[in-house]
Amino acid sequence: MSTYNTSREEIAIVSFVELTPAEASQLDEIETIQTIVSRATDGAGIARDRIGFTVSGSCDMLVGRPFSWIMAMDGAGVSKPIEESHVEMDGAWALYEAWVRLQHGDIDAALIYSFGANAAEDLMQVLALQLDPYYLAPTGINAAEVAALQASAMLAGGATERQFAEVAVRAGLAVSVEAALAEPYTNRPLRASDLPRFSDGAVAMVIARGDYARSVCARPAWIQSMAHIADSHSLGVRDLSKAPSLEKAARLAGVGEKPTDLVEVHAPFGPQEVLAIEALRAAGLHGTAALNPSGGTRAAQSVMVAGLAAIGRAASAIHRGEASRTVGHASSGPALQHNLIAVLEERS
């Protein structure tokens, strides 16, 4: 484990809430944030005045309105000025910023939230806007087609379509492996059950230090470590059948140092879940780890939210007493380009 990736202060996830897709689809952005922030703070017995830092993760491209996140911030409560920040990324990276901020040791708690109004868009096209404008975007390729190329490279490297189908069943997107394999291809070698179901969504989380964390949470999910690494943006420069940055981040975070009870990975496309688990195992993941027991994020994939949701679910398993060491993963960029790993632990 790298020293830079280890918590220097005792910092724990003490509260995590997510809105159901049905709830999210009924609310506008401000109402959404008002609801989740109030559940994650007031609802968990955390006083707003103990929160010294607020940071959100979202993408204005999804709403098509510049500085959308500033308007949305009204929902977090800013009538008394707050210290805040924003990342134009999945909320998992907002968590990373909050975790770094808390290590200064001068504030008790930080609030993180993220939201994505996805349902109205052609997300496969919107996500292609992150490709480089010279060598990739002019080909007209979209996100599903990029993921299909990755799946093709995986098959050439020895993976099987049966593995993809098994992941689809675990995600609740197919009733059986046979049923998944019987589906026609949408983007060969991908089938409908390999693709995400995009939906509106929002999550909020509170992380806190030492004694304050213990005072507001019976079983805090202590952040042992966090690390994130990115691979090259060029699809043809790296071997798409592997996720080297995920493996490296997992090593930096010390995933293999102890047995793990539960893993929640954020894989926007099914085959990427196979790839992510392989990379975690290569980095030393061991123990009786349950893999994506929540079903993963694909059945209700909310862009900008899903990564923080995966880490939040890994924390909730500790809050509920179902696990004592868990690993949460978030990804960003095309074809699992950028990966973040959080190792969470129960402490007596």
Nearer to another protein, 92 or 128 (CB): 128
- Residue 149 as a binder of another protein (CB under 8 A): the answer is yes
Region near another protein per CB under 8 A, out of 74-82, 90-98, 180-188, 306-314: 180-188
Neighbour-count burial of 140, counting CB atoms closer than 10 A to its CB (0-12 exposed, 13-18 middle, 19+ buried): exposed
- Residue 160 as a binder of another protein (CB under 8 A): the answer is no
- Residue 240 as a binder of another protein (CB under 8 A): the answer is yes
- Residue 234 as a binder of another protein (CB under 8 A): the answer is yes
Q: Which of 135, 162, 211, 321 is the binder for another protein (CB under 8 A)?
A: 135
- Residue 156 as a binder of another protein (CB under 8 A): the answer is yes
- Residue 141 as a binder of another protein (CB under 8 A): the answer is yes
- Residue 134 as a binder of another protein (CB under 8 A): the answer is yes
Nearer to another protein, 169 or 230 (CB): 230
Q: Identify which of 338, 329, 192 has the alpha carbon closest to the alpha carbon of residue 269.
A: 192
- Residue 136 as a binder of another protein (CB under 8 A): the answer is yes
Work out how close the CB of 136 gets to another protein at its nearest, in angstroms, rounded to a whole number: 6
CB distance 163 to 274 below 8 Å? yes
- Residue 187 as a binder of another protein (CB under 8 A): the answer is yes
Q: Which of 45, 236, 259, 321 is the binder for another protein (CB under 8 A)?
A: 236
- Residue 291 as a binder of another protein (CB under 8 A): the answer is no
- Site residues for another protein per CB under 8 A: 125, 134-136, 138-142, 145, 148-153, 155-156, 185, 187-190, 232, 234-238, 240
